[in-house]
Amino acid sequence: MSSKVSKADDNLRKMLSEKRLKSVEDRRVGSEVFDKITLETLYKLAKMGYINVLNGAISTGKEANVFKGIDDDGNFVAVKIYRVTTSDFKKMQQYIQGDPRFNVKSSNKRQLINAWVTKELRNLTRAYEAGVNVPKPLVAKNNVLVMEFIGDAEGNPALPMRLSKVSNPKKVSEKIIEYVKILYNDAKIVHGDLSGFNILIKDDEPYIIDISQGMIVDHPISHELLNRDIDNLIRDFKKLGINITKEELKSKIMDLKS
Ligand SMILES: Nc1ncnc2c1ncn2[C@@H]1O[C@H](COP(=O)(O)OP(=O)(O)OP(=O)(O)O)[C@@H](O)[C@H]1O
Ligand SMILES: [Mg+2]
């Protein structure tokens, strides 16, 4: 084991021995994901009651890992942890600098990730408050975002639409269109990475996730992002047997009267 890895594991043990965070499964993943600051962040969130137990990873993606946790009240939560080493800083910089809500000039990676996570929390909050089905945002700190866990009562996570069996495609596609319409017209956000991978399906109910790159509609780039989202949706709807033209979908989302 490299010294870096054993140091991370030492930190983890230390945190566990401080007794707040009851247990952490999958400690070897910890070695890669949980650097010192991440551990301290998890520890603080544990102290605040957001995470009591951190279970195994639901997903280990390119930039972030999502874990299932349990809060102090015994509810499941989803804990999204961005890895500082492998994040796409060029992309983050581009999207953060283009967003008037953020004034991050720095190329400091950690600051950029913190702004990115804050952006995901704020976008989720705007969407949630407007009535879009998204995981309820709970807290963001440093590179960690805690949100509502989308899954069943036993703790099995809902699957992305692209991987799930949709029993009523018409109903599901109509709900998705309605949510994207609310997102655009009320929350005034364009998702920017919308596809069947970033829509979870639970009992034929779609939940939109992964909204960190979302842009406010006034921004010049938002139109291009919206067009890309629409193309992706059309492709994924087609896979479910639902056919809709670009013009039709666009006018529904933008609520254009024909
Ligand atoms: N709130 C949640 N409840 C249950 N599962 C979730 C939740 N959020 C994310 N997941 C699971 O984690 C996966 C990855 O989440 P998300 O799309 O937010 O990360 P990502 O940015 O795509 O990661 P990467 O880009 O690194 O691949 C999702 O496809 C889903 O399976
Ligand atoms: Mg995703």
Average pLDDT over residues 9-32: 56
For 25-84, list the strands marked E by DSSP: 53-60, 64-70, 76-82
For residue 222, the enclosing domain spans: 159-253
Q: Determine, yes or no, domain membership for 153.
A: no
Q: Which CATH number is 25's domain given?
A: 3.30.200.20
Domain co-membership, 130 together with 11? yes
User: What tokens were used for 18?
Assistant: 């401080």
Structure token digits, residue 243: 């056919």
Closest listed residue to residue 132, CA positions, set 51, 57, 228, 206: 206
- 241 burial via Cβ count (<10 Å: 0-12, 13-18, 19+): exposed
**Ligand 2 center from residue 148 Cα (angstroms):** 16
For helices 246-253 and 169-185, the axis angle rounded to 10 degrees is 50
More confident residue, 253 or 31: 253
Averaged over 16-25, what is the pLDDT? 58
Q: Which of 51, 55, 58 to mutate to test the pocket of ligand 1 (most atoms within 8 A of CB)?
A: 58
Indicate the pLDDT class of residue 24, thresholds 50, 70 and 90.
Answer: low
- Predicted confidence (pLDDT) per residue in 59-115, tens digit: 988 889 999 999 999 999 999 999 877 667 777 777 777 777 877 766 788 888 999
Mean pLDDT of the chain: 87
Quickly state the pLDDT bin for 22 (edges 50, 70, 90).
low
Does one domain contain both 214 and 141?
no
At residue 97, the pLDDT reads 74
CB 170: neighbour CB atoms within 10 A?
12
- Other residues' Cβ atoms within 10 Å of the Cβ of residue 218: 8
* CA dist., res. 188 & res. 217, Å (int): 5
Domain shared by 218 and 100, yes or no: no
Question: What's the CA gap between 62 and 39, in Å, rounded?
Answer: 20
Q: Ligand 1 center to residue 97 CA distance, Å?
A: 24
Ligand 2 centre distance from Cα of residue 39 (Å): 23
Q: Please give the Cα distance from 74 to 128 (Å, whole number).
A: 23
Nearest residue by C-alpha to atom 1 in ligand 1: 149
218 closest CA partner among 184, 252, 246: 184
Question: Active-site residues: which are they?
Answer: 193, 210
Same domain membership, residue 131 and residue 199: no
pLDDT for the residue numbered 1? 43
Same domain, 126 and 185: no
> Distance between CA atoms of 209 and 223, rounded to whole angstroms?
20
Which residues keep their CB under 5 angstroms from ion ligand 2?
198, 210
189 closest CA partner among 203, 199, 179: 179
Helix (H), strand (E) at residue 35: none
Q: Which of 50, 65, 66 most suits a substitution to test ligand 1, by most atoms within 8 Å of the C-beta?
A: 66
Question: Into how many domains does the chain fold?
Answer: 2
> Within its chain, how far is the Cα of 45 from the centroid?
18
Instruction: Give backbone dihedrals phi and psi of 140, rounded to 5 degrees, phi first.
Output: -130, 135
The pLDDT value given to residue 33: 58
- Does the pLDDT of residue 30 top 60, yes or no? no
Higher pLDDT, 23 or 115: 115
Question: What's the pLDDT at 108?
Answer: 80
Ligand 1 pocket: which residues have CB below 6 Å? Answer: 58-59, 61-64, 66, 78, 80, 135, 147-151, 157-158, 160, 198, 209-210
Q: Which of 115, 148, 181 is the endpoint of a domain?
A: 148
Domain boundary among 148, 177, 207: 148
Q: For residue 17, what is the enclosing H or E element?
A: helix 3-17
Distance CA(36)–CA(139), nearest Å, equals: 20
What is the arithmetic mean of pLDDT over 233-243? 97
Q: What is the pLDDT of residues 139-185, one digit of tens each?
A: 999 999 999 999 999 999 999 999 999 999 999 999 999 999 999 99
Confidence grade of residue 34 (pLDDT, cut at 50, 70, 90): confident
Q: What percent of the chain has pLDDT over 70?
A: 85
pLDDT at 31 over 90: no
Instruction: Determine how β-strand 53-60 pairs with β-strand 64-70.
Output: antiparallel
Ligand 1 atom 4: residue of nearest CA: 150
Task: Point out the domain boundary residue: 100, 129, 148.
Answer: 148
Is residue 218 located within the same domain as residue 137?
Answer: no
Pocket test for ligand 1, best of 29, 80, 232 (most atoms within 8 A of CB): 80
Average pLDDT over residues 27-39: 66
Q: Judge if 25 and 125 occupy the same domain.
A: yes
Asked whether residue 96 is domain-assigned, the answer is yes
